[in-house]
Structure 1
């Protein structure tokens, strides 16, 4: 079977431009105010720095802000040692890179923390600013690499599960409508969409036959009048707006205003040079997909084409 899908490069460029790099987060923890302020001033230009005067307060900040790239913590603090505090962050934030500052010879604590993977490196007080900056730079790079590897693994697992769900749906579906609905739900859940519609195309026109998914259970189907959909069907290429509120030509359209949809990706499903369906994925916020997520879109659209053409009449 020959299955085709247009290239996704234009959508990838939109996502890359939309998702500009932000400053990584850093948490600095020290019970001495002067040290805390010095750490803040040292790294505020390149990091979004949060300050905490104790391990207890640092845990509260992490609870509010979520994962940070790097934690720098003093070892000797009241209430909770630095190594004790850092050990509490490992289960929830395994990729965060942890650095200990110590002016004492707490060798046993440090060795145990390093061996257990809780501490990336320790720096003795008074520290050399250039050495600390170099260590933190490497730590941030390590965090980014860990995140990339974790994301790749998670994406591969999710991709495999989604493709399996599509083919399983094809095997058990009683009719075309149930198949379309099952696939729409699988795709919508995978991409955390607010709405997903999979609608049949015949003779280059949308037909009433469709399947849909919505987080709220309510679906407004205005695809037949939507300019993004019309462009996708006319050109046979993936069309998208990843931030509709920033597009004057789309933001004032009644169906986007009434539905609250702020991002919309449409993929024509093509089999042997004929469009057989349209996949519409919609969000009520600007699109948070990464360019790599579009690889999954590419694969799932191919799988949908196979599923639709393999359904017994």
Structure 2
């Protein structure tokens, strides 16, 4: 990571570039094979021979950047299938392949936002590639905006909790649990631990929440964060970089004020690469506010 606030675990990458996911749906196997060959280099392509199978794939694999669906299929037509994906995957781009001239249903679907574009059959591969490329670029913009909005909402909610704790708490041991819980809830972590640091070592004041927790004393990332004053990130897909942490994504935040480490906030997610650079920066910004709150509470507790 480029920021001086962080030290990324060596050999790990922060959200390494992945192929976007593409779902192609057609009841004709030849068309499925052709679509797969057309897009397999640029996309991770999933194939379904009908709407029901496609819905099963979406339930298992999650959101796609784009879906290409034939319109005329025996189980359900393309626009009907695509309309059933809108509520769960609003950002996905939907493209319909149609081989007949009556496009009233397609126009209605496009006007309602359920379909991005339609392509007539037989299609020109270069034209279809261009349409899909433009669609995935639009998807990337929509996803970025959605993620920024969600992150901003989480950050604002968390900052509200931090301000409330700073104003109302008069003991350090009473604030660690609400802080750990607020970070865990607002950033969707599977486990969160907050533990205060005294004289360069973990103290007995700590709080744990979530269903994936671990011992910070045996976590090498925690020791590194305390010794360097820099937060540590592990996004190892194999989960082998840090054997002390049960989660594949681990973020250990050093809560510091004027170069003094006041505490450690450790967050874990079961999935690899579960957070983005923007998420980590937002967590660190909130942790900086926590450092100020802890300093204020510690000051008034001594009075």
User: What is the TM-score of this pair, normalised by structure 2?
Assistant: 0.86
Output the CA distance in 1 between the equivalents of 2:59 and 2:213. 35
Deviation larger for 85-94 or 73-82: 73-82
CA RMSD, Structure 1 to Structure 2 (Å): 2.7
Q: 2:261 aligns with which of 270, 275, 281?
A: 275
Q: Which residue, out of 67, 70, 84, partners 1:71?
A: 67
Structure 2 distance, partners of 1:263, 1:107, is 47
Gaps of 5+ in 2: none
Unaligned runs of 5+ in 1: 1-5
- What is the 5 A alignment of 1:297-308? 297-308=283-294
> Alignment partner for residue 209 of structure 2, among 214, 221, 230?
214
Is contact 1:184-1:211 (8 Å) kept?
no
**2:47 matched to 1:51?**
yes
Between the aligned partners of 1:122 and 1:199, the Cα distance in structure 2 is 55
Whose helix proportion is higher, 1 or 2? Answer: 1
Do the aligned residues in 2 keep the contact of 1:95 with 1:146 (CA within 8 Å)?
yes
1:289 corresponds, among 275, 280, 287, to: 275
Q: CA deviation at 1:161?
A: 0.8
Alignment-derived partner of residue 117 in structure 1 = 113
Aligned pair 1:108/2:65, yes or no? no
Give the structure 2 partner of residue 159 of structure 1: 155
**Quick check: 1:24–1:48 contact (8 Å CA) kept in 2?**
yes
Q: Is the 8 A contact 1:182 1:211 kept in 2?
A: no
Contact 1:212 1:219 in 2 (8 A): no
Q: List aligned pairs for 1:180-199, cutoff 5 A.
A: 180-199=176-195
The structural deviation recorded for 1:188 is 2.6
Rounded Cα–Cα distance in structure 2 between residues aligned with 1:118 and 1:206: 53
Stretch moving more, 230-239 or 68-77: 230-239
Distance apart, 1:80 and its partner CA: 2.0
Aligned length in residues:
296
What residue is the counterpart of 2:231 in the other structure? 238
Q: TM-score with structure 1 length normalisation?
A: 0.83
Change (3 A) 1:96 1:287: closer
Contact 1:12/1:294, CA 8 A, preserved across alignment: no
Q: What secondary structure does 2:291 align onto? A: helix
Q: How does 1:241-252 map to 2 (within 5 A)?
A: 241-243=234-236, 245-247=239-241, 251=243
Specify whether residues 154 and 104 from structure 1 end up closer, same or farther in structure 2 by C-alpha distance, changes over 3 A only: same
- Asked if the contact 1:102–1:122 (Cα under 8 Å) also holds between the matched residues in 2, the reply is yes
Question: Counterparts of 1:70 and 1:222 in 2: how far apart (Å)?
Answer: 41
Alignment of 1:84-103 (within 5 A): 84-103=80-99
Higher relative contact order (CA 8 A, sep 6+): 1
